[in-house]
Amino acid sequence: MISLHFLDLTLFQTLIEILATLAFGLSGLLEAARKKLDAVGVVVVAGLAAFGGGTMRDILLDRRPFFWMQHATWLWGLLALCVLAMFFMRARHFELTERAMLWPDAIGLGLFSASGTQIALSMHMPEIVAVLMGVITAVVGGVLRDIVCNEIPRAFKDHSPYAVCAFIGTWVMVLAPQLGMSDNLSLILSATLVTLLRALSLLLGFQLPEWNTTRQKSE
């Protein structure tokens, strides 16, 4: 995931961001552990989940250097996270961690999709492309995590709105500056909206439509 380092980051913002990247990385770590990958697999899948989305966005936008190349400390941080987790985390902690991570993950979804959209807009991409880049920033990490673990990506299958929240909320990042709002304010509004939509989806159990082939077959 991309840092919001182009903003004048206060300590508070930095903390949120670290927490969000941690949530993304931990989601990879837990899936790798469940699939009984070895230590290398755990590190790789955690890294893909944490940095895969921002990297994919930067490849598509032809933007270099990647966040993790410029701030290589994050790679050490990821390694440390994995080593610590392998030493201290027990199977009985898994479900607990996963539930505790839902909220930082929702914050990450908002933060990374809004900032991804802003980056694409600053490169003069068409609006729908900018929104798509925001969604990719926030979602592709989890998609790569699931593909490497030989699963159909959760974001495409579990019917809980996730990418859709990012798709809706990042339009604020596109439209608000056209109404005269500052970029920073738009970013905060957009990220908050995405996070709220995700939180509501989780709390109220929203479900995405699926192709109801069963009912239709029995017609």
> Burial code of 29-53, b = ≥16 C-beta within 10 A, e = fewer?
bbbbbeeebeeebbbbbbbbbbbbb
Counting contacts by CB under 8 A, is residue 76 touching a second copy? yes
**Which position among 62, 88, 179, 203 is part of the footprint of a second copy (CB under 8 A)?**
62
- In angstroms, the CA 154 to CA 56 distance is 18
Counting contacts by CB under 8 A, is residue 84 touching a second copy? no
Task: Report the greatest alpha carbon distance in the chain.
Answer: 59
Specify the stretch interacting with a second copy by CB under 8 A; choose among 102-110, 148-156, 183-191, 192-200. 148-156
CA distance to 41, 68, 156, 198, 201, per residue, from 207 (Å): 32, 35, 12, 12, 8
**Which position among 6, 15, 69, 100 is part of the footprint of a second copy (CB under 8 A)?**
69
**Which position among 10, 88, 204, 209 is part of the footprint of a second copy (CB under 8 A)?**
209
Counting contacts by CB under 8 A, is residue 213 touching a second copy? yes
List of residues 6+ apart from 122 with CB closer than 8 A: none
Residues found near a second copy in the complex (CB under 8 A): 32-42, 44-45, 55, 59-60, 62, 64, 66, 68-69, 72, 75-76, 86, 90-92, 125-129, 132, 143, 147-153, 155-159, 162-164, 208-211, 213, 216-217, 219
